[in-house]
Structure 1
Amino acid sequence: MIFRQLIEPDSNTYTYLLACPETGQALLIDPVLDTLQRDLDVLQKLDLKLMYTLDTHHHADHLTSARLLRERTGCQVVYPAVEKPDCADIGISEGQPFKMGSVELSPLFTPGHTSHHHAYLLDNGTQKMLFSGDALLIEACGRTDFQSGDAATLYRSIHEKLFSLPDETLVYPGHDYEGRFVSSIAQEKVRNPRLGGGKTLEEFVSIMNGLDLPYPRKIDFAVPGNELCGTCPPNVPEEYRGPCDLHEQG
C-alpha cells in the first residue's frame, strides 16, 4: 500500500492518501480546499488516479475539497451514509467494508463529536491503522459543544469502538496542534488526559463541559459549505476567501 500523511497548517488538519500499488488507484481521507493543488501534485508525482474522497464528518474548521476534486479528477465523493449530503456519490456505513483495489477500510460509527462521525480502520497486513478523524486525537479528543455533539456519546464511541481495538493499533488523528503525527491505542488508553487511566464517564463529561473553548472561527461558513461537499458559501469572510477565489476561478 502507498501511504502519505499530509497536513494543512491553518486548521492543522491531516489529510491521508491511501493507494493500491497494483492498480494505481488512490483515495483521500479528509481533503482540505486550501491544499487542493498540493494533493493534485502529490497524486501526479506518484502517478496515481484519484478514485474517492472520504470525509469523516462535516467539518467545522475548514472546507473540504471533495467537490472540486471530483470536478478535476472524476473521483467519487464518499460521506457517512447516516447524514450523506445529496451532493455525495456514495454513503458509507459500519459493517460494510469499503474496498479499492488492495485497500480495504472498515468504517466505524463513532458519534459524539458530531452525530454522524465515522472513523476508518485499515489492516495493512502488518499492523492495523485507525484514521480516527476528530473522535480520538493524540492525548485529546474532538470537542462536543456544537454540531449535535455529546460528551457521553463520544465517551461510549471511543471506549466501545476504538479502545476495544488491539493495543498496537496505530492512531492517525484528524488534527494535531503540537507537531505530533501518530499515536497508538495503548498510548491513548494510558496517557490521554481526558480519557486515559480508566477515566469514568462522569469524569470525562465533567472535563468536556469545563473546557470553555472559543467559538470555531470558520464554523459559520464551513459547516453549510461542507454540507454541499465543499461549496464556498457567500458568507465566507474576506480573510478566508483566498482558496475559494483561487479555485472557483479555475
Structure 2
Amino acid sequence: MAVAPASVLSLAAAAGGGSLLFRQLFDGDTGTFTYLLADVRSRQGLLIDAVFEQHDRDLALIRELDIDLVACLDTHAHADHVTGSWLMHAATGSAIGLAAAVGAEYVSLPLRHGDRVRFGERAVEVRATPGHTDGCLTYVLDDQAMAFTGDAVLVRGCGRCDFQQGNAHTLWTSITGQILSLPEACLLYPGHDYTGRSVTSVAEEKVFNARLGGNATERDFVGHMEAMKLPHPHKIAEALPGNMRSGKPRELAAVPAWAPLTRSYAGLPELTPAWVVAHQSDLTVLDVRSAQEFNGPDGRVAGSLLIPLPELEGRSSEIPTDRPLVVVCHSGSRSALATQQLLKAGHAQVANLHGGLSRWAAEGFPLDGAIPA
C-alpha cells in the first residue's frame, strides 16, 4: 500500500528519534556535504550548502518527502564548488541565504550574526565565524544539538586561511568563541571531508583537533595555519564568480526537447501518466511485465509494446529507435530497472512511468482489457 508523502516524512523523522527530519548528502567530486532539515509538523525545511551539480538529486528528495523549502542557505562563498541556491530558488521559490558581508547577487536573505532562520516550529541561529573567509557563518540548531560549521571547523581540522580574506587570528577567535563554546555534546557537521568522516562533536574537537585542540594556544594555531602550503582548489576560477551570482548560470540550460523529465531521488528520469497520455502518439510505450500480466485483469496501455524484463536484452532489436521510450510495469519498479538498462545500452530518450500502471489507473486513464475491481 502506498504511503502519502506527509506520512513518509513523519516516519522518516521518527526513525531518527524526533520531530526533525535530518539528511546528510554528499558530493564525491568536491567532498562537499549538503544538509536537509525539516520540521515534520509543518513540513517546512532548510537546505544548507547545496551543490550546483547535485540539484536534481536534492530537488527530487525534497519533492518526494513533500517538503516546503523555506530557504537554501550557504555557510560561505565557496571556492571549490558552485552553490545550488539559485537553481533551488528557481525550482521551489525558496529564499537564498548567505552572509550579508559577501555582497553576492540574488541573495534574498542577507544574514548577520544573531539572526534566526525559522522553518516551521524549528529554527537555526546564525553565528558569524569569519577567518576562513570574511563571510563564513555557522548555523546552530535551536536546541544546540547540532551545528553546521561550513569550513570553519572540519573533522579534526579547519578551513585554510591563505586567501579570500582569510586570517588565522580571526578564525581562532571564531572557533573558540562561537563553536567550541557550544555544549560539548553538540554535534558538528562540516562543509567538507575527503576521507569518509561525516560528523564530530565539540568535545572531540576540543581534545583531538591537531590544530586547535588539547593544550594548543592561539600562537600554536596561527603558526600551524601560516605554515601550511596548499594548492588552490581546482574549481576556484569558476566557483568564486559563480557564487557571487548565487549559482545562477550565465546561460540557462535548455529544457530537454522531448519531455518535461523529472528525476527521482534514485536518479531515474520519470514522466507522469498525464503527460504520456497527452503525447502518446509520439512515443513508444514499452511494457516490461510478463505476458500473463499484460493480458490479465490489470489491463495495458493501448498500443504498447510488450517485452518482458527478463527478455529485454535479447530482444532489444525490436525496440523502435525513431521515437522516445516510456517504460511501464505495474508499480514502476521493474520498469525502473528496465529504464536503467536501456540508458546504459545507449537509448538517450527514455523515461520511467512514475507510479506505473497503478498510478495510471488511479488517475482515471483507460487501460485496454482492464477488469474493474
1:248 match: secondary structure: coil
Equivalent residue, structure 2, for 1:18: 37
Equivalent residue, structure 2, for 1:131: 148
Deviates more, 1:203-212 or 1:111-120: 203-212
Could you tell me how far apart the structure 2 residues matched to 1:186 and 1:201 are?
18
One-letter amino acid of the structure 1 residue matched with residue 228 of structure 2? L
1:147 match: secondary structure: coil
Could you tell me how far apart the structure 2 residues matched to 1:99 and 1:43 are?
17
Check conservation: 1:7, 1:15, Cα contact below 8 A: yes
Q: Is 2:239 aligned against 1:222? A: yes
Check conservation: 1:189, 1:197, Cα contact below 8 A: yes
Check conservation: 1:53, 1:78, Cα contact below 8 A: yes
- What are the superposed Cα offsets for residues 112-169 of structure 1, whole Å, 9 maximum, x if unpaired? 0001100000034xx6101001000000000111100011110111011111111111
Check conservation: 1:79, 1:91, Cα contact below 8 A: yes
TM-score by length of 2: 0.61
- What are the superposed Cα offsets for residues 162-183 of structure 1, whole Å, 9 maximum, x if unpaired? 1111111110111111101110
Equivalent residue, structure 2, for 1:103: 122
Equivalent residue, structure 2, for 1:240: none
> Aligned-pair distance for 1:26?
1.5
Check conservation: 1:18, 1:103, Cα contact below 8 A: no
- What are the superposed Cα offsets for residues 46-66 of structure 1, whole Å, 9 maximum, x if unpaired? 121222100111000000011
Q: Is 2:83 aligned against 1:61? A: no
Could you tell me how far apart the structure 1 residues matched to 2:40 and 2:204 are?
31
2:57 match: secondary structure: helix
| CA RMSD across the alignment | 1.4
One-letter amino acid of the structure 1 residue matched with residue 167 of structure 2? D
- What are the superposed Cα offsets for residues 225-246 of structure 1, whole Å, 9 maximum, x if unpaired? 101001345xxxxxxxxxx8xx
Equivalent residue, structure 2, for 1:205: 222
Could you tell me how far apart the structure 2 residues matched to 1:56 and 1:90 are?
13
Equivalent residue, structure 2, for 1:249: 254
- What are the superposed Cα offsets for residues 39-95 of structure 1, whole Å, 9 maximum, x if unpaired? 011112212122210011100000001111111111111111222423111111222
Check conservation: 2:123, 2:141, Cα contact below 8 A: yes
Equivalent residue, structure 1, for 2:60: 41
1:92 maps to which of 106, 111, 129: 111
Q: Which runs of 5+ in 2 are unaligned?
A: 1-19, 256-373
Could you tell me how far apart the structure 1 residues matched to 2:142 and 2:94 are?
24
1:78 maps to which of 97, 102, 124: 97
Could you tell me how far apart the structure 2 residues matched to 1:83 and 1:214 are?
23
Equivalent residue, structure 2, for 1:236: none
Q: Is 2:163 aligned against 1:150? A: no
The aligned length equals: 236
Could you tell me how far apart the structure 1 residues matched to 2:253 and 2:82 are?
13
Question: Over alpha carbons, which structure has the higher Rg?
Answer: 2
1:216 match: secondary structure: coil
Identical aligned pairs, as a percentage?
A: 43
Check conservation: 2:45, 2:120, Cα contact below 8 A: no
Could you tell me how far apart the structure 1 residues matched to 2:51 and 2:234 are?
16
Could you tell me how far apart the structure 1 residues matched to 2:177 and 2:205 are?
14
Q: Is 2:134 aligned against 1:115? A: yes
Compare relative contact order (CA 8 Å, sep 6+) and give the higher one, 1 or 2: 1
One-letter amino acid of the structure 2 residue matched with residue 141 of structure 1? C
> Aligned-pair distance for 1:36?
0.4
One-letter amino acid of the structure 2 residue matched with residue 98 of structure 1? V
Could you tell me how far apart the structure 2 residues matched to 1:170 and 1:248 are?
38
Equivalent residue, structure 2, for 1:4: 23
Deviates more, 1:59-68 or 1:211-220: 211-220
Deviates more, 1:63-72 or 1:76-85: 76-85
Check conservation: 1:30, 1:56, Cα contact below 8 A: yes
TM-score by length of 1: 0.91
One-letter amino acid of the structure 2 residue matched with residue 44 of structure 1? R
One-letter amino acid of the structure 1 residue matched with residue 95 of structure 2? Q
Could you tell me how far apart the structure 1 residues matched to 2:126 and 2:120 are?
17
Q: Which runs of 5+ in 1 are unaligned?
A: 234-243
